[in-house]
Structure 1
Amino acid sequence: MEEYKVRKRKIKICAIVMTIMMISISIVACGTSNTITESVVIETESENETTTTKTQDTTTSDFTYTSEDIDVGYDEASATKIVLDGDSIRVDGDGATAKDNIVTISKGGTYVLSGTLSDGQIIVSADKQDTIRIVLNGVEMNCSTSSAIYCEQSKKVILILAEGTINTISDATTYVYESTDETEPDAAIFSKDDLILTGTGTLNLTANYNNGIQSKDNLLLASGTYNVTAINNGLHGKDSLTILDGTYTIDAKHNAIHSKGNLTIDEGTYSLKAVKKGLHADQLVTVNGGSIDVSECFEGMEGVSITINGGDINIVASDDGLNVANQDETDTTTTEITQEQRPQAGNQLAQAEGEMPQVNGEMPQGDSQIPRGGGGQMGDGMDVVDEDCIITINGGKITIDASGDGIDSNGHVYMTGGEVYVNGPTSNGDGALDYNGDFIISGGTLVAIGSSGMAQTISDASTQNGLEVIYTQSQKAGSIVSLLDSDEKEIISYTSVKDYSSIVISTSALKAGETYTLTYNGTALGQITLSDISTVVDETGAQATVNTMRGGGPRERGGQMPQGQGDMPQDMQPPNQTQSGETTTTN
């Protein structure tokens, strides 16, 4: 039996001299991996000064699980059988009893559930050292007064979705507690201890009261197919939430995936819709792989720190795409649904699809009145740099369509690899890139397109060259931006999905001192010579200004003035194709 640990993570960031070192430990288990980043050292040097950021230590409790915990197999012959039969229950074996349509599991062991229960509940109330395995072998059940599955006490509960089965579970719209002081359970599947879900079957879950699947300890999902609709959070972990693999379709009225501690995603396929956040952690978010599609949300991915090592991530957000901020700087909207917010029995959902859940009984009127995370606190004419807040991109492909900031860090952004494509805001109050400290890039491909009013580009401390073009007039959605080298070889080509007036490009193909031609739908606009790590020009190649820090004032940077390139064509029409963020690159 192998043992694996989701461990506390220490991130150490120092900016001193021209290297980037990433140290990672990877543990492979049952065809999946948990990548544990022990430290990250970013060393950079500008021409005139050395900058050192403070060390960040973020600690959460350790979570240990074994290969047996996530094994989908079980011994059916020795297991206790629990057969649900409409309005009655039959128990065959030890460790469980049935009374008044409530099954109580009181001993460690394996329990196989099958059949239909129109109104009832499964309760786990065992010794604190007991491990309970519950196999859902084609179960359809509802509880009209509480959670359908309530794990009150054990060491841990393992739910196994039996191969080839479809399991359907729903809870009450109004919970009945023994006293007015009680608030738990409050999820369709609720556990006070560690909760692990595995298997190859399907779970269809409707959470009518609050959260879908919730653990007051660690929540781990190893495999399976999950279709979750929840009035609050779809998946909710307290100490940690770890997903090794599986397929997830989640529609949540608050956050689709929410952790009060760390959130780690190794692999899996995700189709997420949320009124608030697609993926949120109060501490660290780590994505090592998988295919993540957040098609509706206020903010796509949020935590104190975000590390992306791999995966294919697509985010459409009405506010920020990626956002890192400490909790006292983010919105204070509660993640618990009050009784007034919950629909009453027999009524339709209190909020219509896409509307914000009520807060303290009042409905926010539009995004402008919703407290927003990111952007930091203003003081002395510039944003405060929060050294705890770090976005690290080491790999993967990230595509963002954000009406607010595309990438928003109250601290720093470090990019060492991967591909990042940001379709940023059209309003001048937000930017495709928004950071309070540094954006240091040493590898990968970055394209960030959006408005110019609050535009930022990469930091001078970067070791990979970058270019920002500030257009003298707004460009049309669907237009193709291309950059050609001196041999007319295409370095990058990008099709915008919105109107835009700035674009940031960084790729290993960009070389200092080289001259490039910027084109619009195939027509040359100007020639641009990269004069520094971070060159800022307008579309003709003339120097332009850019905000290096919000409130810090602009600086002038530039390339060489083109000779005889002329002005931007006034009657140019965008092409017919409007493929979302279509990009070609040459490295």
Structure 2
Amino acid sequence: MKYPLNLIAILLSSVLFVGCSKDDIEGTDDGSGTGGATNGITISNSTITSGTAEGNTAKGEDSEDLIANSTFSTTVKIVFGSTITITNPLENAGVTITQSNGDVVVQSTVSEVAYELSGTTTNGSVKFYSEKKFELVLNGVSITNNDGPAVNIQSGKRVFVVVNDNTTNTLTDAATYAANATEDQKGALFSEGQLIFSGNGTLNVAGKNKHGIVSDDYIRFIAGTYNVTEAASDAIHANDYIIVDNGTFNIKATSDGIEADEGHIIINDGNFTINVLDDGIAASYDTDTTIDPYVVINGGTFNITTTEGEGIESKSTLTINNGTIIINAYDDAINAGKAIYINGGKIYAKSSSNDGIDSNGTLTVTGGYVIAIGARQPETGFDCDNNTFKITGGLLLGLGGGSSTPTSSVSTQNAAVVTASVTANSLLHIRDADNNEVITFLAPAAATTVLYSSAKLTTGKVYNIYSGGAVSNTTDFNGLYLSGSYTGGSLLKTVTQSSKVTTTR
């Protein structure tokens, strides 16, 4: 969420720990100092515990979205070029096609029609009016329109967009549209109805006026490669919901990368590279009694960068069940209005000016690798205000100017929140008094508070926190070392895990 930083500083300047419950338990600070580390500490973070998953497990299955369950028995072909060639077997049977100055208009009253687009135009478009659902095949087409959308679907019916295998297709709209008082036209590829994308080809989209790919209903991606090279607003935008089953997405936008304006987002798989000004992925409608704008990530690989906004945002709940997620955000890296549930995956959530992971309600972690990097005080690695922070599994590391404290009455895995001076671009290493490694991490930014939790923390044991040193023969996830050997380093602090949740100041 975006809050005035000066107001936050005034209200919270004296606060280091933001408690998530009233049952925090103070631990024992056994002092700090410097000293050499024992050589050859084995790093073995590859195995983590997992509690019972919580939150949303929806995948958004809908048999009506499968093109195999629909029949399109007749194909109409439109080939762009110096002249436009149209092959219309239904010319006298319900499909009328007109063209003027490079713009093609299709009007259809019949079902089971596929429209195949190919060829190139630098000043043209295609518009559809259809009373029935239809198939739109992109077969190596390049359309640039100088006064509106490249593809404009003025139909509220389901449209199956097939990006043909081994083809590259390009859609570019105009920066300024010709006025139209009666019809919406909101992006390079616009539809009043549902859009379902499939096929293993490539679609390049440049949204110079507003959005790149946009529906006033919902959008589903089943397969394909989608490169939104620019968008004056959102790269991919739906009024209702967005579901991604698979595909490759390379997205740049002046506003959001993927936004469901009044609905939810479900991502089951896919590869996402998102570089945007505002939010990377957002279910953005403010909650009320009828709309629940949740986000569910069941898998996929994500690399999200924002220059002003949040990485992943839900105005209601956000659930991460699996996936590899790397976020470098200006605002909160991960944010939800009501609750965040993390059940698995590998997550790196870093904010340069706000919290790493911020829930305005509850925060629950049952599994996965979860790294949360916040900015200076009062910003935190993990933040859930004064609500429940439940940990039942996983490996957690939070760095920032403060931290919410896990709720001991509902957590089943030990955790500690420690005041320690962490140096930017230096190793942070925690191990027990028997030299068994807990966490080794290359900190990307300076911090004054460390939260860590893992199955390796045992009540009654003493743990030493080191800074610096070196690692060798390693594998890592964005600075979290999963194997190898740690040597050297200077002792920052010694902490006794005296209870389920230990805090030291």
TM-score band by shorter chain is: 0.7 to 0.9
Offset at residue 96 of structure 1 (A): 4.7
Write the distance in 1 (CA, Å) between the matches of 2:74 and 2:282.
Answer: 40
Q: Does 1:520 align with 2:470?
A: no
What corresponds to 1:35 in structure 2? 59
Match of 1:148 among 150, 171, 182: 150
Deviations 1:145-204 (A, max 9, x none): 21111111142111110010000110111111343xx46111111111111111100011
Percentage of matched positions with identical amino acids: 30
SS of 1:173's equivalent in the other structure is coil
Q: Which whole-Å CA distance do the structure 2 matches of 1:88 and 1:276 have between them?
A: 40
Task: Tell me, in whole angstroms, the C-alpha distance in 2 between the residues paired with 1:458 and 1:511.
Answer: 16
The whole-number CA distance in structure 1 between the counterparts of 2:156 and 2:217 is: 11
Contact 2:51-2:367 within 8 A present in 1 as well: no
Does the 8 A contact of 1:120 with 1:142 survive in 2?
yes
- Displacement after TM superposition at 1:214 (Å): 0.8
Q: 1:178 to 1:400 in 2, by over 3 A?
A: closer
Root-mean-square deviation (CA, aligned residues, Å) is 2.2
1:277-326 per-position Cα deviation (integer Å, ceiling 9, x unaligned): 0000031011000001102342101112110000000111111111112x
Residues 1:510 and 2:457 are matched in the alignment: yes
CA shift digits 1:76-124 (9 cap, x unpaired): x942221112353423422351321313141331111111122222222
Alignment correspondent of 2:120:
116
Instruction: Give per-residue Cα distances to partners, 1:323-379, cap 9 Å, x unaligned.
Output: 112xxxxxxxxxxxxxxxxxxxxxxxxxxxxxxxxxxxxxxxxxxxxxxxxxxxxxx
Instruction: Name the structure 1 match of 2:431.
Output: 484
Change in Cα spacing, 1:520 to 1:20, as seen in structure 2 (3 Å) is closer
**How does the TM-score come out when normalised to structure 2?**
0.78
SS in 2 for 1:66: helix
Q: Does 1:467 pair with 2:463?
A: no
Deviation at residue 449 of structure 1 after TM alignment: 0.9
1:277 aligns with 2:257: no
CA positional deviation for 1:21: 4.8
Inter-partner Cα distance in structure 2 for 1:421 and 1:25: 21
Instruction: Determine which structure has greater relative contact order: mean sequence separation of CA pairs < 8 Å that are 6+ residues apart, divided by chain length.
Output: 2
- 1:191 paired residue number: 191
Paired residues of 1:125 and 1:154 also in contact (CA < 8 A): no
Q: Look up the match of 1:340.
A: none
Residue matched to 2:203: 203
Q: For 2:166, give the aligned amino acid.
A: G
Distance 1:110 1:146 in 2: 23
| Partner Cα separation in structure 2 for residue 406 and residue 159 of structure 1 | 37
Which residue number in structure 1 is paired with residue 231 of structure 2?
230
8 A contact 1:215–1:236 mirrored in 2 = yes
CA deviation after TM superposition for structure 1 residue 23, in Å? 7.0
C-alpha contact 1:193 1:216 (8 A) present in aligned 2: yes
Query: Aligned partners of 2:362 and 2:194: how far apart in 1?
Result: 34
Distance 1:25 1:444, change over 3 A: closer
Structure 2: how far apart are the matches of 1:423 and 1:237?
A: 31
Paired residues for 1:299-378 under 5 Å: 299-303=310-314, 304-325=316-337
Structure 2 counterpart of 1:530 = 497
Alpha-carbon distance in structure 2 between the residues aligned to 1:25 and 1:309: 8
- C-alpha contact (below 8 Å) 1:87/1:118 kept by paired residues: no
Residue 66 (structure 1) aligns with? 64
Asked whether 1:406 is paired with 2:373, we answer no
Between 302-311 and 458-467, report the one with greater CA deviation: 458-467
Q: Deviations over 1:492-514 (max 9, x none)?
A: 11111111111100001111112
* 1:457 matches 2:405: yes
**Contact 1:447-1:506 at 8 Å conserved across structures:** yes
* 1:241 corresponding residue in structure 2: 242
CA contact (8 A) 1:91 1:98 kept: no
2:368 is aligned to: 418
On the 8 A contact 2:76/2:86 being kept in 1, the answer is: no
Compared with structure 1, are the counterparts of its residues 434 and 526 closer, same or farther at alpha carbon in structure 2 (3 Å cutoff)? closer
* Cα separation, partners in 2 of 1:21 and 1:418, compared to 1, 3 Å: closer
Q: Is the 8 A contact 1:86 1:117 kept in 2?
A: yes
**Is residue 177–residue 183 contact of structure 1 (8 Å, CA) maintained in 2?**
no
For residues 297 and 162 of structure 2, the distance between their equivalents in structure 1, rounded to whole angstroms, comes to: 24
- Distance of 1:489 and 1:25 partners within structure 2: 36
Pairs within 5 Å for 1:564-579 = none
Q: What is the rounded CA distance, in whole Å, between the counterparts of 1:25 and 1:312 in structure 2?
A: 18
Query: Which AA in structure 2 matches 1:513?
Result: G
Contact 1:401 1:423 in 2 (8 A): yes
Question: For each residue in 1:538-575, what CA deviation from the matched residue of structure 2 results, as whole angstroms up to 9, or x when unmatched?
Answer: xxxxxx2xxxxxxxxxxxxxxxxxxxxxxxxxxxxxxx
Preserved contact between residue 295 and residue 317 of structure 2 (Cα < 8 Å): yes
Tell me: CA distance 1:23–1:497, structure 2 relative to 1, closer, same or farther (3 Å). Answer: closer
Give the length in aligned residue pairs. Answer: 413
1:84 aligns with 2:34: no
The 8 Å contact of residues 70 and 197 in structure 1, kept in 2 or not, is answered as no
Q: 1:22/1:495 Cα in 2 relative to 1: closer, same or farther (>3 Å)?
A: closer
Aligned to 2:340: 391
Tell me if the contact between 1:395 and 1:416 (Cα under 8 Å) persists in the aligned partners: yes
Q: Contact 1:161/1:200 (CA < 8 Å) preserved in 2?
A: yes
What SS does the aligned partner of 2:280 have?
strand
Contact conserved, 1:25 with 1:35, CA < 8 A, in 2?
no
Aligned to 1:563: none
Give the Cα–Cα distance (whole angstroms) in 1 for the partners of residues 339 and 161 of structure 2: 35
Amino acid at match of 2:365: M
Secondary structure, counterpart of 1:79 in structure 2: strand
